[in-house]
Amino acid sequence: MSATLTAPHAILEQPEYRVEGPLKVTGGARYTADVQMPGMLWLAYTRSDRPHARIVAADTTAARAVEGVHAILTGETIGHVDLGRRLL
Amino acid sequence: MASEHALRFELNGQATDVSVRANQRLIDVLRDDLGLTGTKEGCSVGVCGACSVLVDGQVVSACLLPAVFVDGSKVTTIEGLAPDDAHLTSLQDAFIRHGGFQCGICTPGQIMAATALLQENPHPTTEQVKEWMMGNLCRCTGYYKIVESILAAAEAGSAPVERELAGIR
């Protein structure tokens, strides 16, 4: 019985080399922001400039006119979906 | 439209020619044009130190420096520190062994800043390490382990250390 207990204890007494260590100290670790895919688009948020207001409409004409803009998503695009705090 | 400029500089020991726009920052050229994503962008305003690189041996925030400024200089990023695939610098090794990081996002900047410190002052005191590293923020470690790692590397000296075979490569 004691023999089977010795092995796990021995593991606990040894410092363990971090498996992801070399990747993180050499810049080799890939995070989400490091990934580039062919044809990848960039996203930018526009938030309300009023701290406490009801959004009744979003005029996206100016944004749509900018060269290279592929899509504009607003609350209207998504429609009525219960998410976040509305679930509570 | 921003004007285009041809640059030649030494990047991690390699002669590098790139064409950059006047409004591109060094971090944009490193990450987006040259694919060196080891340099991280944190705050984008020169406060957090995540994007620290060495330009002619000096620590610089790559998010603040227009790329055109590095023309003719020597730039070192985190990818350029280890001498080869089989070794790490003693500082990189110390960060692993002394728990100098958790998530690893600030780590490239921490290691670049500490590399510059040890080049200037190979045997810093704890206070000197804290003072020097003030420009590098970390949300995980609470800093004790980072200071410990740098002091351990100073103790170990500047010779590269063999890379452990354990781990993901």
Burial label for A25, CB within 10 Å (0-12, 13-18, 19+), is buried
Report CB contact under 8 Å: B78, A26: yes
Along the 169 residues of chain B, how does pLDDT read in single tens digits?
789 999 999 999 999 999 999 999 999 999 999 999 999 999 999 999 999 999 999 999 999 999 999 999 999 999 999 999 999 999 999 999 999 999 999 999 999 999 999 999 999 999 999 999 999 999 999 999 999 999 999 999 999 999 987 655 5
Report CB contact under 8 Å: B166, A17: yes
Please give the angle made by the CA atoms of A74, A78 and A83, to the nearest 5 degrees. Answer: 110
Give the Cα separation of B39 and B77 in Å (integer).
7
B10 contact A CB<8A? no
Residue B127 tokens read as 């206070």
In A32-62, which positions are buried (b, 16+ CB within 10 angstroms) versus exposed (e)? eebeeeeeeeeeeeeeeeeeeeeeeeeeeee
Residue of A nearest to B30 (CA): A34
Name every chain A residue with its beta carbon within 8 A of the beta carbon of B31.
34
Alpha helices in chain B (DSSP H): 26-28, 90-97, 107-120, 126-132, 144-156
Residue of B nearest to A25 (CA): B92
How confident is the model over A4-33, as a mean pLDDT?
Answer: 84
pLDDT of residue B118: 98
CA distances from B86 to A51, B89, B163 (A): 54, 11, 5
Residues of A with CB under 8 A from a CB of B: 15, 17-31, 33-34, 36
Report CB contact under 8 Å: B166, A19: yes
Report CB contact under 8 Å: A26, B101: no
ipTM of the complex: 0.94
Of B107, B108, B167, the CB nearest to A17: B167
Position of tokens 């410990």? Answer: B148
Report CB contact under 8 Å: B96, A22: yes
How confident is the model over A64-78, as a mean pLDDT?
Answer: 91
Give the Cα separation of B119 and B150 in Å (integer).
12
Report CB contact under 8 Å: A23, B169: yes
Is the pLDDT higher at B58 or at A4?
B58
CA distances from B129 to A23, B96, B148 (A): 24, 18, 9
Mutate to test the interface with B, among A24, A30, A36, A40 (most CBs of B within 10 A): A24
Task: Tell me how close the Cα of B107 comes to any Cα of chain A, in angstroms.
Answer: 7
Name beta bridge partners: B4: B21
Give the Cα separation of B23 and B1 in Å (integer).
9
